[in-house]
């Protein structure tokens, strides 16, 4: 019984995270960095780091889905000076080791495990969430 409830929770989490990633990739494609920051604040996301002044490669914005101590994922957005825009999500807590990436140029979301970690270092639900996300269209390794 415990396994069934956990699988259902993983599928639910995968659906919400998948929809969020697709929404954010759409937003970075169509919004300026300032508009994205404002939209995320309205949605209740918590700012972590904002570099709105242009640096060598572009501008950066990092945020959490909730307070950092309770967040399952942190998100890192880069608006490059060359015009490219990138979104990376990193798992924490039960999803540590899972990394998702999306770009304004490609309509696919990459779903991978951190290569520098050994499989024993991945968090308990990281692989299960990866498998669930890979079942959705537009998600690939």
User: In a 3-state reduction of DSSP, which class is residue 98?
Assistant: strand
**Distance (Å, whole) CA 78 – CA 97:** 21
Which regions of the chain does DSSP assign to beta strands (E)?
46-51, 58-64, 73-80, 85-91, 98-103, 109-113, 139-140
Asked if 99 and 87 touch (Cβ cutoff 8 Å), the reply is no
Residue 44, φ and ψ in degrees, nearest 5: 95, 10
The domain locations on the chain are: 2-140
Q: What is the pLDDT of residues 19-56, one digit of tens each?
A: 999 999 999 999 999 999 999 999 999 999 988 666 66
Q: What is the pLDDT of residues 97-123, one digit of tens each?
A: 999 999 988 879 999 999 888 888 888
Asked if 126 and 14 touch (Cβ cutoff 8 Å), the reply is no
- Global pTM reads 0.88
């Amino acid at each position: 019984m415990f396994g069934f409830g956990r699988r259902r929770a993983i599928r639910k989490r995968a659906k919400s995270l998948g929809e969020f990633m697709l929404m954010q990739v759409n937003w970075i494609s169509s919004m300026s960095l300032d508009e994205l920051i404002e939209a995320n604040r309205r949605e209740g996301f918590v700012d972590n780091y904002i570099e709105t002044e242009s640096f060598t490669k572009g501008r950066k914005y990092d945020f959490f889905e909730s307070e950092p101590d309770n967040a399952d994922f942190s998100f890192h957005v880069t608006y490059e000076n060359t015009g490219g825009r990138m979104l990376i999500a990193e798992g924490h807590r039960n999803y540590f080791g899972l990394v998702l990436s999306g770009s304004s140029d490609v309509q696919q979301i990459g779903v991978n495990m951190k290569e520098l970690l050994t499989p024993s270092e991945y968090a308990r639900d990281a692989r299960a969430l990866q498998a669930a996300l890979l079942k959705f269209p537009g998600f690939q390794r």
